[in-house]
Amino acid sequence: MPERQKGGRDAEGQESPVRERGGAVLERQEIDTYGQAVAYIDEIPRFTSKHAMAQTQGFLHRLGDPDRKLRIIHVAGTNGKGSVCAYLRSILEAAGYRVALFTSPHLVCIRERFLVDGGMVTEEDFLRAFLHIYRMLDWDALERGEEAYHPTYFEYLFFMAMVLFGEAEPDFCILETGVGGRLDATNSVNQKELTVITHIGLDHVGVLGDTLDKIAFEKAGILRAGVPAVWWDTCEETTEVFKRRAEELGILAYSVSENDYSFSNFKRKSIDFCLRNLYDRDCTLTIHTIAAYQMENCTLAVRAIQALGACGGIGPEQIRKGVADCFWAGRMEEVLPEVYVDGAHNEDGIRAFLETVSGDGHPGARSLLFGVARDKDYRRMIQELASSGLFGRICVTCMRSSRALEVKELAALFGGYPDCACEAYEDSGAAFRRLLESRGDGERIYVAGSLYLVGEIKELLEA
């Protein structure tokens, strides 16, 4: 049976605000199985909260600094982090390198977060890494209710990744931040090979700030002295933050924008586009997706590979193969014939999703299943969806998460748009089945609004 994500954390990667342990007594458990380890991790948000960077660095040092064995590519940003990581991994593997990848969130199985040589770590290795961390905790203090370090949900998984990847000794290790960058647990590593920052947008404003420059400042926190950086030129406001930080550190920095690629050809299931090369002939690439926004993510990843001087041996053919072979679940993924799930979970993500839908060339009707977390800017997301005129009908639903927006409020908001036909379902599975059973000939179904919702639909299909 597929695993499910619990409501104690943000399905898009942020650890939800949780209460302090505050002297509560923790009882050490006998954990002998993979299932018990997963259950324990899912309960962590109930008794701990995010720590200062010095504490995270201190525990990583207690682990023996396994990150020092790794050539780390660190990726931050608002949208596209996972896709950029996937393209980086695929290109490096096409060139013959062994790669480890730590990313978040997972859609169905928690082991999706740990990839080594293209595959998830085994349940046995997951349990072994979990116990390695578990046995290093100060249980004498924790059982007495004293203040003692216990990793958060995300910190625990990050430490497990460092243990697993340190043992695997890959050629490269790609780390995706959870939220932000400057204070993210992944930023506790001692050294990096390259830093990459993707598209910046307004998301997690309660944690990162309510303006693009404030958010860019947090993302720029992953930049390091002596380490080249590559970022997406979202706007003048964000790029100025990155340039200023790069100048302060005296590092090589590369800005990538829409000027670095051009659309060539849209096919039914793939996109051809041209990557402009500053030093050689332009390179035509094919991405096997209908998602137009992946041209941006792919271009940024290729530029990052080119900035990685140690990989001078990676040529156009290896880049083409890596790009063509790349797959990233939950991002405009076709899970059934003419059924697509997309993890768009903020306003910028919804805009990119709608750009893809409007340009996908589908001649028939379209319908949408939508659910969203209540701490997102859902009113703006709904406005974009309802006013697009792209969907003949929209089904709204409530996800199995404590953070999900109630279906009654969703229905009421969509009801404010008289030209928008909306149906409401309390259960995402029931809503999805209804769309499948009632769709007409040539009707295409889309699922969007949250990676958590995408995970629920994928779980339903895998059951």
What distances in angstroms separate CA 113 from CA 119, 175, 345, one per listed residue?
10, 10, 19
Q: What is the pLDDT of residue 179?
A: 84
Structure tokens at 118: 């293209």
Residues whose CB is less than 8 angstroms from the CB of residue 139 and which lie 6 or more positions away in sequence, other chains included: 26, 28
User: How many CB atoms neighbour CB 45 within 10 A?
Assistant: 21
Per the CB < 8 A criterion, the answer to whether 175 and 165 are in contact is: no
Cα gap 144→167, rounded to integer Å:
34
Q: Which residue has the tokens 């007495």?
A: 144
The one-letter code for the residue type at 214 is K
How does DSSP assign 38-83, residue by residue? HHHHHHGGGT-----HHHHHHHHHHTT-GGGGS-EEEEE-SBSHHH
What distances in angstroms separate CA 144 from CA 72, 91, 152, 331, one per listed residue?
38, 50, 19, 46
For residue 361, give the DSSP letter: -
Beta bridge partners of 444: 366
Structure tokens at 42: 């899912």
Q: What is the pLDDT of residue 18?
A: 34
The maximal CA–CA distance of the chain, rounded, in angstroms, is 66
Domains detected in the chain: 34-325 (3.40.1190.10), 333-462 (3.90.190.20)
What's the average pLDDT block by block, 10 residues per block, for the chain (463 residues)? 45 39 71 97 87 94 96 95 97 96 95 97 98 95 88 97 98 94 95 96 59 91 96 93 96 94 87 81 89 95 88 84 94 95 91 92 94 90 94 94 90 91 93 95 96 94 86
Q: What is the pLDDT of residue 280?
A: 62
Cα gap 96→77, rounded to integer Å:
27
Q: For residue 149, how many C-alpha atoms fall within 13 Å in the half-sphere facing its CB?
A: 19
Q: Indicate the pairing of strand 261-266 with strand 333-336.
A: unpaired
